[in-house]
Structure 1
Amino acid sequence: MKKLAAGMMITLVFGLTACGSSSDTASSKPADQAQSTSAGSSSLSSSTTTTGGGDAKAIMAKSSCESCHGQNLQGGAGPNLQKVGSKLSEEQIVKQIKNGSGSMPGGLIKDDKDIQTVAKYLSQQK
């Protein structure tokens, strides 16, 4: 039981550290690698949302969102976001990105246009 508790604490601490950091490796990954290639993740939109703020998946990779939510939004240290649009509106997602909640820190994405781009994309995940 002590080993399980210690393992969970290490995972939590590592997950929070990874969520708050920005990595050059993540930002140098092409956006097309961030898209799902497996048939099992068909709930993800095959196209990304692009607005004045740029490509949603590239923004998410640059902001280290994948370190907690997974490359295919399947979850991990953070919740699964593959169907988040059926639970939260675009406005609620914007608020979550800006302010954070629980173990998610706010302000990982700084630019308002980028926040809108990511929120719009995630709100379409149903």
Structure 2
Amino acid sequence: MKKWLLMILVGTALVLGACGGGDDDQTSEGGSSNGDAADAEAIYKSNCTACHGADLSGGVGPSLETIGASLSADEIADIIENGTGNMGPQNVSADDREVLSEWLAAKK
């Protein structure tokens, strides 16, 4: 029982420490769509992989491999900004949120 509780506490600490905390230095100005994809991947790796997996396959959070099939970029941006279910609002700049949500919306 104590091991289970310890695992839950450590897991929770890792998730809370890894989710959010966007790095505002990663924004690009006037980048091309290829630059936006690279930026989006960097933003994703900095903010989302702990919960959604490095390959979008999920983990603590749901898979995002085909998220664009069910949610628009605006809906994804709203979830990033305001949170949903167990996911709280993420500390990501408006520019990063836009790049990331457009990139995820293309995942169909």
Q: TM-score, normalization: structure 1?
A: 0.63
Alpha-carbon RMSD across the aligned residues, in angstroms, is 2.8
Q: Hey, what's the Cα distance between the residues in 1 that align with 2:34 and 2:65?
A: 13
Moved over 6 A (4+): none
Match of 1:55 in 2: 39
Q: Hey, what's the Cα distance between the residues in 1 that align with 2:104 and 2:40?
A: 9
In terms of fraction of residues, the more helix-rich structure is: 2
Which blocks of at least 5 consecutive residues in structure 2 are unaligned? 27-32
Q: Amino acid of the residue matched to residue 84 of structure 1?
A: I
Note if 1:77 corresponds to 2:60.
Answer: yes
Match of 1:125 in 2: 107
- Indicate conservation of the 8 Å contact 2:80/2:89, yes or no: yes
- Indicate conservation of the 8 Å contact 2:57/2:64, yes or no: yes
Question: What SS does structure 2 have at the residue aligned with 1:71?
Answer: coil
Q: TM-score, normalization: structure 2?
A: 0.72
Which blocks of at least 5 consecutive residues in structure 1 are unaligned? 28-46
Any idea what the Cα deviations from partners look like across 1:65-109, whole Å, max 9, x if unmatched? 111111111111111100111121111101001111233221321
Mapping 1:8-27, distance limit 5 Å = 8-21=8-21
Q: Hey, what's the Cα distance between the residues in 1 that align with 2:57 and 2:34?
A: 17
- Indicate conservation of the 8 Å contact 1:69/1:81, yes or no: yes
- Indicate conservation of the 8 Å contact 1:12/1:77, yes or no: no
- Indicate conservation of the 8 Å contact 2:21/2:92, yes or no: no
Match of 1:30 in 2: none
